[in-house]
Amino acid sequence: MPARRRTAEARTELTAPVEDYLKAIYEIERAGTAALTNDIAARLAIAPASVSGMVRRLARQKLLRHERYHGVRLTAAGRAAALRTLRRHRILECYLAQVLGYDWDGVHAEAERLEHAASDELVERMAAALGDPRVDPHGAPIPTRDGTIDETRHRTLAELSAGARARVLRMADEDAEFLRYLADLGIRPGVDVTVLSQAPFDGPISVRVGRSARQIGRNAAERIVIVLNGTA
């Protein structure tokens, strides 16, 4: 059987729940640690007891390695499948925003519903129609067709000192209310910000966005990834 056909058949064997697990584990691993059962459960909003069975199944499929008491890590095959799902998701977000006119706070949930149903061919046609975008509407990098992705670690807005100037790269996209909050502040990918002050004891951070001074909570600032101006 040709290798291409075997690969295509292997992809069709992955169910939507399996793809969700692999994507969740990939995102947890991005923080630099193995994915623990409770972390996976929290990210997927399911009971921890439900995770153990799926982890054993994915280990049998050689999509992850499970070390008792130490969590799980994706194998090369599991990582490739996670990035393929992530590519579908982020291309769909771009298409929804750029072609269908969805607001940026609504594309994540819609793409979550569509990513398992969309074929690779459809997604690649969308990508071509968009000019092969490199980032999604929230600034997150889109994996390439061959499964590579920019995994450069960057600082967050919460880590900057007063006087620091930075450019917003991306932000967490799961919470639509959070994105609407940022939009009200004028904070989007590509926007330049200057930290004016940081209140002590986890108080708010004052930033200049354009010509306006804004205050943002530390928890929110921790979800905004930036690059210092002059280093992009």
> Which residues is 216 bridged to in the sheet?
205
Q: What is the 3-state secondary structure (H, E, C) of 161-194?
A: CCCCEEEEEEECCCCHHHHHHHHHHCCCCCCEEE
| Residue closest to 85 by CA, chosen among 44, 41, 118 | 118
Query: What is the per-residue pLDDT across 158-183, written as a single tens digit (0 to 9) for each?
Result: 999 999 999 999 999 989 999 999 99
pLDDT computed for residue 230 by the predictor: 55
Is it the case that residue 218 has pLDDT exceeding 50? Answer: yes
The pTM assigned to this predicted structure is 0.88
Query: What is the per-residue pLDDT across 205-215, written as a single tens digit (0 to 9) for each?
Result: 999 999 999 99
- What mean pLDDT value characterizes the chain? 91
Alpha helices in 30-159 (DSSP H): 37-44, 48-60, 76-98, 107-114, 120-129
Is it the case that residue 10 has pLDDT exceeding 50? Answer: no
Domains and CATH numbers, the chain: 1-151 (1.10.10.10), 155-228 (2.30.30.90)
